[in-house]
A and B are shown apart, each in its own frame.
Chain A
Amino acid sequence: DAKTTQPNSMESNEEEPVHLPCNHSTISGTDYIHWYRQLPSQGPEYVIHGLTSNVNNRMASLAIAEDRKSSTLILHRATLRDAAVYYCILRETGANNLFFGTGTRLTVIP
């Protein structure tokens, strides 16, 4: 069942930063926070994951609140190719799969 809450949709102007929020107030100490995105007509694509500390990779940054009850995926400079549905997922100890909610549909405006 869904353990994360995300806005249904967001818009961003091209070449500006985007902050995608996710609430996960019932997170436990060993749950990892994963982000995936799904471009139109493609399978989901792994973006980033973290446990407690903020994380950076070539695609994005993940900022995790000190109490871990929320996190924010940061795209530093949105491009048209970043238009996708972004899923915030908790990976729980003992859980086999990824539970995808409905995610946030990001629209990038040229």
Chain B
Amino acid sequence: EAGVAQSPRYKIIEKRQSVAFWCNPISGHATLYWYQQILGQGPKLLIQFQNNGVVDDSQLPKDRFSAERLKGVDSTLKIQPAKLEDSAVYLCASSLGTGLRQPQHFGDGTRLSIL
């Protein structure tokens, strides 16, 4: 089966600019996650969708970050305006459901560098 697709693979922008990332989950996976991974740390959840509804966005900095999954399939994550501290890898993951035994399948991420 095809894995989780993310684009772009790399992005370099200046602070205060805007940026958007795209994710296409594994076909049939109802649950989609966005994680932020800062260099040297483990990934941290930003937002979780179940189909096209938000399940958890408690860790999303809503003053600058937004995400949507309008048709319950692919998703976009946006940062506007970007800060230096947003330099990180943004990972998308999907799973069939939210059960405790369900593994999450990750894409290879978008590496964002803020100048």
A interface with B by C-beta (< 8 Å): 30-32, 34, 41-46, 49, 87, 91-93, 96-103
Minimum CB–CB distance from B102 to chain A (whole Å) comes to 9
Point out the residue from A31, A43, A91, A103 that lies within 8 Å of B106, measured CB to CB. A43
Task: Name which residue of chain A comes closest to B9, CB basis.
Answer: A41
Using a CB–CB cutoff of 8 Å, the interface residues on chain B facing chain A are: 4, 33, 35, 40-45, 48, 55-56, 91, 93, 98, 100-101, 103-109
Q: Nearest residue in B to A41 (C-beta to C-beta)? A: B108
- List chain B residues, Cβ under 8 A from A46: 103-105
Q: How far is the CB of A98 from chain B (nearest CB, A)?
A: 6
CB distance from A23 to the nearest CB of B (A): 17
Cβ B55 vs Cβ A44 within 8 A: no
- A32's contact among B44, B98, B100, B107, by CB below 8 Å, is which? B100
Q: In the complex, which residues of chain B have a beta carbon less than 8 angstroms from the beta carbon of A99?
A: 42
Distance to closest chain B CB from A30 (angstroms): 7
Question: Is there an interface contact between B100 and A98, defined as CB atoms closer than 8 Å?
Answer: no
Question: Do residues B45 and A42 form an inter-chain contact, with CB atoms below 8 A?
Answer: no
The answer to whether A34 and B103 touch (CB under 8 A), given A42-B108, A97-B33, is: yes
Shortest beta-carbon distance from A107 to chain B in Å: 16
CA distance A41 to B111 in the complex (A): 9
Name which of A32, A44, A101 has the most chain B CB atoms within 10 A of its CB.
A44
12 contacts across the A-B interface (CB closer than 8 A): A30-B100, A41-B108, A43-B4, A43-B109, A44-B43, A49-B101, A96-B48, A96-B98, A97-B56, A100-B43, A102-B41, A102-B42
**Contact for A100 among B40, B42, B55, B107, CB less than 8 A:** B42
Q: Which residue of B lies closest to A95 (CB)?
A: B100
A100 and B91 contact, CB distance less than 8 A: no
Q: How far is the CA of A28 from the CA of B56 in the complex (A)?
A: 23
Q: Is the Cβ of A44 less than 8 Å from the Cβ of B101?
A: no
Nearest CB of B to A32, in Å: 5
> Contact check: which of A41, A91, A96 meets B45 at CB < 8 Å?
A96
Instruction: For A32, give the chain B residue with the smallest CB separation.
Output: B100
